[in-house]
Copies of this chain bind each other. A is one copy, B any other.
């Protein structure tokens, strides 16, 4: 299959990356960075998460962040929601789009939500239905789609059933997440094509982590099977809840550079994103896992 002329990189650093930092990032700095990312050409950005502030204090400023952003037409921002209250909070900010994401693994689901897979999934589908009813677009995600740190490989039947249910519930985008970085290139030949065969015209996005160093290898393998949308995080921020100091999401800059070397457009100003990564590294006094932002 020939490579696409362009791919879409969805920036998830402000959610998946910022929530991982123990040190408080000031709200004003978060807003400044997201506004810079918009100006750098990112057209879809997950900017925060509506989650109980006691559980994830890093995301307690969700409403303030959305209020502070300059979002031009053509740019879509969304936020992760974890329960009905989150859907309501998101809607009140004027946000047009949320993500609902459920784990394909029983054990991961129980540890993360306190519910069995069946209960968590049923609740998630209700959230999607409610979000759609109150006028929100929904991106629906499958966590641990490529394996689970507790259970190993996850059945393709379950992944397919989740995606079908999401589509029936009206999801506007489907994402498959390699939550703990267990995907390998051969999985890419097997799993995304099966999902692409049922998503049709609904956008399909891969969310890859670099936990085992295979983030960009998997990206290349997925490109080969027709995937053209990838979640990435500025500087490769983020981590893995099971591995201290683990690598995070694939880096926005490194992924955009890889695409550029193959003549694939992303519309992203790599230097401008790299500036954001360096600014935040300097503030946090650490190095993210991405490479290119420190070279340019």
Interfacial residues, chain A to chain B (CB-CB below 8 A): 184-186, 210-214, 216-217, 219-221, 236, 243, 245-247, 251, 254, 257-258, 261-262, 287, 290-292, 294-295
- Choose among A185, A213, A219, A245 the residue with the greatest number of B CB atoms under 10 Å from its CB: A213
Return the contact of A246 from the options B210, B236, B295 (Cβ within 8 A).
B295
Q: Provided the pairs A217-B216, A220-B220 are in contact, do residues A291 and B210 lie with their beta carbons within 8 angstroms? A: yes
A247–B291 CA distance with the chains assembled, in angstroms: 8
Q: Are B261 and A295 in contact (CB under 8 A)?
A: no
**Copies per assembly:** 2
Chain B residue with Cβ nearest A221: B220
Expressed in whole angstroms, the minimum distance between the Cβ of A223 and any Cβ of chain B is: 10
Q: List 21 A-B contacts (CB under 8 A).
A: A184-B258, A184-B261, A185-B220, A185-B261, A185-B262, A211-B295, A212-B257, A212-B291, A212-B292, A213-B216, A213-B251, A214-B216, A214-B258, A217-B217, A217-B219, A217-B220, A220-B221, A243-B294, A243-B295, A245-B294, A247-B291
Q: Provided the pairs A184-B261, A186-B261, A186-B262 are in contact, do residues A213 and B254 lie with their beta carbons within 8 angstroms? A: yes
Question: Given the complex, which residues of B lie within 8 Å of A219, measured CB to CB?
Answer: 217
A68–B261 CA distance with the chains assembled, in angstroms: 45
Q: Are A295 and B212 in contact (CB under 8 A)?
A: yes
Q: Are B220 and A291 in contact (CB under 8 A)?
A: no
A243–B291 CA distance with the chains assembled, in angstroms: 10
What 4 A-B pairs come out closest when comparing CB atoms? A184-B261, A213-B291, A213-B254, A216-B217
Return the contact of A290 from the options B185, B213, B217 (Cβ within 8 A).
B213
Question: Given the complex, which residues of B lie within 8 Å of A292, measured CB to CB?
Answer: 212-213
A214–B185 CA distance with the chains assembled, in angstroms: 15
Return the contact of A216 from the options B211, B216, B247, B291 (Cβ within 8 A).
B216
Expressed in whole angstroms, the minimum distance between the Cβ of A65 and any Cβ of chain B is: 28
Question: Given the complex, which residues of B lie within 8 Å of A186, measured CB to CB?
Answer: 261-262
Q: Provided the pairs A254-B213, A257-B212, A262-B186 are in contact, do residues A245 and B287 lie with their beta carbons within 8 angstroms? A: yes
Chain B residue with Cβ nearest A245: B287
- Known A184-B261, A212-B292, A217-B219; 7 more pairs at CB < 8 Å: A185-B258, A186-B262, A213-B236, A213-B258, A214-B216, A243-B295, A246-B291
Expressed in whole angstroms, the minimum distance between the Cβ of A244 and any Cβ of chain B is: 8
